[in-house]
Amino acid sequence: MLKELDPPAVRRWSRHCATALGRARAEIDALNVFPVPDGDTGTNLHLTLLSAADALDALPAGADGGATWAALARGALLGARGNSGVIVSQALKGLADTLGPARGDGADLRAGLARAAETARAAVARPVEGTLLTVLSAAARAVRDAPDDLAGVARLAAEEARRALRRTTGQLDVLSRSGVVDAGAAGLVIVLESLAEVVTEAYSERHEVPAPAGRGVPEARVGLAPEEAGRHADGPGYEVMYLLDAGADEVSRLRAELDTLGDSLVIVGGETLWNVHVHVDDAGAAIESGLRAGRPHRIKVTWLGTRPHEPGPVRGVVAVAAGDGLAGLFAEAGAVVVRRDPGAVPPVAALVRGIRDAGAEVAVLPNDAAVYDVAVAAAEIAREEGATVSVLPTRASVQGLAALAVHDPLRRFDDDIVAMTDAAGHTRHGHVWVADRAAVTSAGLCRPGEVLGVVDGEVALIGADLAATAVEVARRLVSGGSEMVTLVVGAGAPPEVARAVEDDLERTRPDLEIVVYEGGQGGYPLLIGAE
């Protein structure tokens, strides 16, 4: 038996947990009736612990306790899936906070379990009894006065968790009506029993998962009471999850905001990285809340209902545009246009509506780096409603125009996406704009009123004259293989700016085809594309 939970033991525990949950995955899935009867709790817990184990495998062999526990917690945080997976990841963080700097003996494990129960409960906006929170708290209480023997503490915690699991059926109405224990709690019991097995070095081949009352080994989603089968039809329609880069103050405001939008809210993490989980009717609003708080990424949206939106039978393109002229160009080329204000991003809901209007197979052209994440979020929502959606990495309107120019609705969808992406990728992009304040750029310090020339997203030069700077930007964009240059004139731009670029290119590169459009975009007097 182990006297201390040292780094090699933590590694063995993480992998044993992942393996044990993988074996029990289907049985736990079948118990899943709360908070949503979506039959994936076992799968989510397995993937969460698998991510934690993989994170430990990536550490050097001699990593100390602090690094080992930190990797375990971070791996679980990054890989957390579903409501239960997110809560368990926070419980592991509580253990890591306590055991990381400690020896890992019985007293440390007692303190770690208490911390795990506290942090997991604090992460849930509206805790419900009869869940894994209840079972974790029961295990922590049971070992509070236990001797400082590591094996004894681990065994007692696992045994009490198993007893508390059986009690969950009578603690939550939906569990009682369905004759099941809580699915998340069943997974937590396996996590604690796996810990006891590693400490005592006595391993079990399988862990018992209580079957629904009066039944044998359950199949997926048996035990679901008839009145529960459609319980979510009138409840929140989507599960929204994302990682969020933000500060603690911003997350506090986000928590309050999401609490008004839906239920099953869990936010875990710390410092600058968080994992957000919520069930809502308006997935777009939940994602936009995250955008206001910081930078959401790895966005995942899951439809919780039973009758998703059926998109129309056509293929289409959605293009984001910031000016009347650009909007007209995209619309004339057959795209559904989503408008945005200069310097702003469109609402997620507007992009979702655009995708729905465009058809069953849709290419989305964000046409700005800042719009890309919002487009990805909208695509996740539309996919859950049955659409096939691909978001192209167009970072400028001229790339979107190039992609749309080769769009062919008669091609296979995947082939069309490849062709459009290739056209956008071979289009270099630039623009000029006038600085309204002093700033440090990649080309040096600029002062208000100076002209910034941007090449492929980076400030490449600072000039005094708008037309001269535009000419230099165009020269830097054009290469020996360039065949076409597109100029998109902004709202209120002096007509001589585009004319100066045209004249220079006609003189120096008479082989080029030059196309000029009135884009009407604000902020940028001239957009330039070279393909």
Q: Are residues 262 and 331 in the same domain?
A: no
The DSSP result for 427-496, as a single string, is -EEEEEEE-SS-EEETTEEE-TTPEEEEETTEEEEEES-HHHHHHHHHHHH--TT--EEEEEEPTT--HH
Phi, psi of 144 (to 5 degrees): -55, -40
Residue 485: give its domain's CATH number. Answer: 3.30.1180.10
Please tell me the distance from the alpha carbon of residue 89 to that of residue 70, in angstroms, as a whole number: 12
Percent pLDDT > 90 in the chain is: 52
Is the model's pLDDT at 279 over the cut of 50? yes
Is 223 inside a domain boundary?
A: no
Count of positions (residues) in the chain: 531
| Residue, of 386 and 221, whose pLDDT is higher | 386
Is 15 inside a domain boundary?
A: yes
Percent pLDDT > 70 in the chain is: 93
Residue 294: give its domain's CATH number. Answer: 3.30.70.1710
Q: Which long-range contacts (CB under 8 A, 24 or more apart) does 329-332 make?
A: 329/401, 329/517, 329/519, 330/365, 330/400, 330/401, 330/404
Is 395 inside a domain boundary?
A: yes
Confidence of residue 217 (pLDDT cuts 50, 70, 90): very low
Q: Are residues 436 and 505 in the same domain?
A: yes
Mean pLDDT of 246-268: 90
Is the model's pLDDT at 306 over the cut of 90? no
Is the model's pLDDT at 226 over the cut of 60? no
Residue range of the domain that includes 125:
7-208
Mean pLDDT of 133-154: 92
Is 176 inside a domain boundary?
A: yes
Q: What is the pLDDT of residue 480?
A: 87
Q: Are residues 55 and 204 in the same domain?
A: yes
Q: Are residues 453 and 405 in the same domain?
A: no
Please name the residues in contact with 488: beta carbons below 8 A apart, sequence gap of 6 or more.
Answer: 325, 326, 397, 398, 401, 516, 517, 518, 519, 521, 526, 527, 528, 529
Cα–Cα separations (whole angstroms), residue 355 to 176, 312, 365, 435? 42, 10, 11, 35
Q: What is the pLDDT of residue 172?
A: 84
185 close to 168: Cβ distance less than 8 angstroms: yes
Is the model's pLDDT at 13 over the cut of 90? yes
Is the model's pLDDT at 309 over the cut of 60? no
529 close to 401: Cβ distance less than 8 angstroms: yes
β-bridge partners, 514: 485
Give me 482's structure tokens. 């360039």
Cα–Cα separations (whole angstroms), residue 183 to 24, 115, 130, 399, 526? 11, 22, 10, 48, 58
Locus of tokens 């929204």: 240
Structural element, H or E, at residue 157: helix 150-167
Residue 74: give its domain's CATH number. Answer: 1.25.40.340
Please tell me the distance from the alpha carbon of residue 47 to that of residue 191, in angstroms, as a whole number: 13
Please tell me the distance from the alpha carbon of residue 486 to that of residue 431, in angstroms, as a whole number: 11
Please tell me the distance from the alpha carbon of residue 96 to that of residue 73, in angstroms, as a whole number: 6
For residue 35, whether the previous peptide bond is cis, meaning omega lies within 30 degrees of 0, is yes
| Residue, of 174 and 5, whose pLDDT is higher | 5
User: Mean pLDDT lowest for which of 2-11, 31-40, 269-278, 293-302?
Assistant: 31-40
CA dihedral for 420, 422, 425, 430, sign (positive or negative):
negative
Q: Are residues 92 and 201 in the same domain?
A: yes
Torsion angle of C-alpha atoms 245, 247, 248, 253, degrees rounded to 10: -80
Mean pLDDT of 517-530: 88
β-bridge partners, 459: 454
The DSSP result for 63-110, as a single string, is --HHHHHHHHHHHHHHH--HHHHHHHHHHHHHHHHHHTTS---HHHHH
Q: Are residues 268 and 140 in the same domain?
A: no
Q: What is the pLDDT of residue 17?
A: 92
Q: How many domains does the chain contain in total? A: 4
Q: What is the pLDDT of residue 522?
A: 82
Q: What is the pLDDT of residue 141?
A: 95
Q: What is the pLDDT of residue 311?
A: 47
Is 308 inside a domain boundary?
A: no
Give me 343's structure tokens. 């310097």
Locus of tokens 């209120």: 492
Q: Are residues 417 and 438 in the same domain?
A: no
Please tell me the distance from the alpha carbon of residue 429 to that of residue 319, in angstroms, as a whole number: 17
Q: Are residues 336 and 419 in the same domain?
A: yes
| Residue, of 354 and 225, whose pLDDT is higher | 354
Is the model's pLDDT at 232 over the cut of 70? no
Average pLDDT of the chain, as a whole number: 87
Is the model's pLDDT at 270 over the cut of 60? yes
Q: Are residues 434 and 421 in the same domain?
A: no
Is 356 inside a domain boundary?
A: yes
User: Mean pLDDT lowest for which of 207-221, 326-340, 360-374?
Assistant: 207-221
Is 224 inside a domain boundary?
A: no
Is 219 inside a domain boundary?
A: no
Q: What is the pLDDT of residue 38?
A: 60
Final residue belonging to a domain, choices 303, 333, 362: 303
Mean pLDDT of 374-399: 89
Any idea what the Cα angle at residue 147 is, between residues 146 and 152, rounded to 5°?
Answer: 80
Final residue belonging to a domain, choices 356, 391, 425: 425
Please name the residues in contact with 503: beta carbons below 8 A apart, sequence gap of 6 or more.
Answer: none
Q: Are residues 72 and 92 in the same domain?
A: yes
Q: Are residues 161 and 62 in the same domain?
A: yes
Q: Are residues 462 and 406 in the same domain?
A: no
Final residue belonging to a domain, choices 395, 425, 455: 425
